[in-house]
Amino acid sequence: MNKPDRMTVATWKISSALLEVEDLEAALTNTLEVLSEQLNAAGGAIWILDEATGIMHCVVSTGPLDLTGITFENGVGTEGLVVSTEKSAFFAETEKAEAFEGDIFDDQGFKTRSLICVPLNDLKKTIGCLCLVTARDGETFAEEDLKISEHTASLAAMVIDEKGLKVNLPPEKPVLMELKDITKEFPSGEEVLRVLRGINLKIFKNEFVVVLGESGCGKSTMMNIIGGMDHATSGSITLEGQNFSVPDEKALTEFRRSYVGFIFQSYNLMPNLTARENIQFIAEISTNPRDVDEALGMVGLTDRAGNFPSQLSGGQQQRISIARAIVKNPRIILADEPTAALDFKTGQEVLRVIEGIVHSGDTTVLMVTHNVEIAKMADRVVKLRSGRVSSVKYNEHPLHADDLVW
In the complex, the residues that contact ligand ADP under the rule CB under 6 A are 186, 193, 195, 213, 215-221
Q: Which does 285 bind (CB under 5 to 8 A by kind): Mg ion, ligand ADP, none?
A: none
Total number of residues binding Mg ion (CB under 5 A)?
A: 2
- 79 vs 72, 83, 104, 153, 190, CA distance in Å? 8, 6, 11, 14, 36
Beta strands in 206-341 (DSSP E): 208-212, 234-239, 242-243, 260-263, 332-336
Q: Could you tell me which stretch among 28-36, 63-71, 217-225, 382-390 binds Mg ion (CB under 5 A)?
A: 217-225
Would you say 216 or 241 has its CB closer to ligand ADP?
216
Q: Report, in this order, helix, strand and coil percent for the chain, each rounded to 5.
A: 35, 25, 35
List 293's β-bridge partners, or say none. Answer: none
Name the closest residue to Mg ion (Cβ): 220
Q: Are 262 and 198 in contact (CB under 8 A)?
A: no
Least gap, CB of 143 to ligand ADP (angstroms): 39
Dist. CA 49–CA 88, nearest whole Å: 16
Segment interacting with Mg ion (CB under 5 A) among 6-14, 211-219, 351-359, 386-394:
211-219
- Of 149 and 221, the one with the shorter C-beta distance to ligand ADP is 221
DSSP designation for 196: E
What φ, ψ does residue 41 adopt, rounded to 5°? -100, 160
Question: Which stretch in 11-19, 149-157, 219-227, 375-383 sits in contact with Mg ion by CB under 5 A?
Answer: 219-227
Cβ proximity to ligand ADP: between 36 and 221 the closer is: 221
Give strand pairing partners of 125. Answer: none
Query: Nearer Cβ to ligand ADP, position 199 or 217?
Result: 217
Q: Specify the residue, 195 or 210, whose C-beta has the smaller distance to ligand ADP.
A: 195
| Radius of gyration from C-alpha coordinates of the chain | 24
Binds 274, which of Mg ion, ligand ADP, none (CB < 5 to 8 A, cut-off by type)?
none
To Mg ion, the closest distance from the beta carbon of 223 in angstroms equals 8
Residue 165 DSSP symbol: -
Q: Which is nearer to ligand ADP, 206 or 224 (CB)?
A: 224
Q: Distance (Å, rounded) from C-alpha 248 to C-alpha 225?
A: 15
DSSP secondary structure letters along 379-404: SEEEEEETTEEEEEEE-SSPPPGGG-
* Least distance in angstroms from the C-beta of 263 to ligand ADP: 14
Q: Binds 2, which of ligand ADP, Mg ion, none (CB < 5 to 8 A, cut-off by type)?
A: none
CA distance 37 to 90: 18
Query: Is 225 exposed, middle or buried (CB count within 10 Å of its CB: 0-12, 13-18, 19+)?
Result: buried
Residue 320 contact among Mg ion, ligand ADP, none, beta carbon within 5 to 8 Å by kind: none
Name the residue nearer to ligand ADP (CB basis): 260 or 368. 368
Pick what 213 binds: Mg ion, ligand ADP, none; C-beta below 5 to 8 Å, kind-dependent: ligand ADP
Looking at the Cβ atoms of 164 and 187, the one nearer to ligand ADP is: 187
Which residue from 108, 220, 278, 369 is in contact with Mg ion, where contact means CB under 5 A?
220
Secondary structure element (H or E) that encloses residue 184, with its range: strand 175-188
> Measured from the CB of residue 128, what is the shortest distance to ligand ADP in angstroms?
31
Q: Closest separation between CB of residue 308 and ligand ADP, Å?
A: 30
Helix and strand counts by DSSP (H, E) for the chain:
10, 16
Instruction: Name the residue nearer to Mg ion (CB basis): 66 or 214.
Output: 214
CB of 75 to ligand ADP, least distance (A): 24
**Run of H or E residues at 198:** strand 191-204
Picked from Mg ion, ligand ADP, none, the partner binding residue 34 (CB below 5 to 8 A depending on kind) is: none
Is 266 or 311 the residue whose CB approaches Mg ion more closely? 266
End-to-end CA distance of the chain: 48
CB of 220 to Mg ion, least distance (A): 3
Find the shortest distance in angstroms from Cβ 188 to ligand ADP.
Answer: 6
Range in contact with Mg ion (rule: CB under 5 A) among 17-25, 46-54, 220-228, 282-290: 220-228
CA dihedral over 326, 328, 329, 333, signed as positive or negative: negative
Which letter does DSSP use for residue 170 in this model?
P
Interface residues with Mg ion (CB under 5 A) are: 219-220
